[in-house]
Structure 1
Amino acid sequence: MSARHSDCPGMTWHEMDIRQLSFPDATFDVVLEKATLDAIMVEEKTPWEVSPQTACFIHKALTEISRCLKPGGRFVSITFANPFFRKPLYARTEYNWSIKKYTYGEGFHYFVYVMTKGEELSPEDAALEKKLLEDTESPPTVVATTQNEPEEDFLSNIDF
């Protein structure tokens, strides 16, 4: 990238792990992310349930982004990820930011999330965080059955 953009004086390029940025605290007014988190999540089998490993990776990345933002700074995340899936990742009091969502496009939407450092979560986002914390503290419910049920073969039951 340095060679490709050698005609841009003053521009520098850094390669580093997003979970351990080498920038000092409160360095940036704006951090822009376009599909980086999507790329991190590409191996997930379903957006409904992010694996603990990926959730940990993203948490470390967002912690670092928050650390590097100046007070009043903005983290802008551009993605096709619906708020139902993305907001649970962003809605944490410890990141010390508010969340605003903007939707663009017709039919096929993309979303722009703007987190502002030093602002509190909205009551709605704080409630989402509280629910997520409660869900992780309570053990999953196990439903026991007394008989063996045959596996359903959905493909064989489809009338063509």
Structure 2
Amino acid sequence: RFFPQLEPELRPGDRILVLGCGNSALSHDLHELGYTDVTSIDFSPACIAAMRARYAHCPGLRWAVMDIRALTFPDASFDVVLEKGTLDVLMVEETDPWHISPQAAAAMHRVLAEVGGGGTCVGVQRVDPIPMWAPEAFGWSLRHAACGDGDAAAFHYFLYVMRKGQPLDPRDVALGRR
């Protein structure tokens, strides 16, 4: 449901990291659309083993067991980082989602460090808006939009697109300070 909003953010040849892939077909779907450099990580060894077996026929897909709070890739290893609610784990111990702790901000910085200059971080969330995506200190622009099938009664997702090295819009600066 969010591919129409996601595809303009991707370029052929992008090095893509999918955080918390679970058993989602997202990585495979990206591969089928021509994005052949996709690395997917998840905390669960059983999940990663199953995904490796399921998509062994796709040589551009790589799978790794990894905790998003302790990523081991060199900085700037990817052009795009994608997540579908995975970064919520960074907020689990937060008492106020409108005022995130230095620890949560540092963990988000670590995830963002995976993206090279001019790269993109795309998050798909169920809530809108969330200040986790808008701290001015990140040095990223932010665009967010609702995604759904157009039916007002349907469940919607919110797509957050952050672009490295571009300024935050003043309206989003206010969101980050909320």
TM-score range, shorter chain: 0.5 to 0.7
Question: What is the TM-score normalised by the length of structure 2?
Answer: 0.59
Q: TM-score, with normalisation over the residues of structure 1?
A: 0.65
Q: Confirm or deny that 1:113 pairs with 2:160.
A: yes
Q: Which has the larger radius of gyration?
A: 1
Which of 62, 65, 69 is matched with 1:15 structurally? 65
Aligned counterparts of 1:120 and 1:69: Cα–Cα separation in 2: 16
Instruction: Tell me if structure 2 keeps the 8 A contact 1:91–1:128.
Output: yes
Q: Distance in 2 between matches of 1:60 and 1:81?
A: 22
Output one character per residue of 1:91-124: Cα deviation in whole Å (capped at 9) or x when no partner: 1223221110111223332110100000111112
1:2 partner SS: helix
The one-letter amino acid paired with 2:162 is M
Q: Identity rate of aligned residues, in percent?
A: 44
- Go from structure 1 to structure 2 and tell me whether the alpha carbon gap of 1:73 and 1:43 turns closer, same or farther (over 3 Å shift): same
* Counterpart AA for 2:121: F
SS at match of 2:113: helix
Residues 65 and 75, structure 1, Cα contact 8 Å, conserved in 2: no
Give distance in 1, aligned partners of 2:141 and 2:98.
25
Q: RMSD over aligned Cα, in angstroms?
A: 2.6
Q: Which residue of the other structure, out of 96, 110, 125, is the alignment partner of 1:64? A: 110
Query: Which residues of structure 2 form unaligned runs of 5+?
Result: 1-50
Structure 1's consecutive aligned runs of 4 or more residues displaced over 3 angstroms after TM superposition are 38-44, 54-58
How do 1:39-118 residues align onto structure 2 when only pairs under 5 Å count?
41=91, 49-50=96-97, 55=101, 58-83=104-129, 86=130, 88-105=131-148, 106-107=152-153, 108-118=155-165
Distance 1:89 1:95 in 2: 10
CA 1:118–1:67 in structure 2 vs 1: closer, same or farther (change >3 Å)?
A: same
1:56: how far off? 5.2
Worse overlay, 120-129 or 107-116: 120-129
- Which structure has more strand as a fraction of its residues? 2
Distance 1:29 1:2, change over 3 A: same
The number of aligned residues is 124
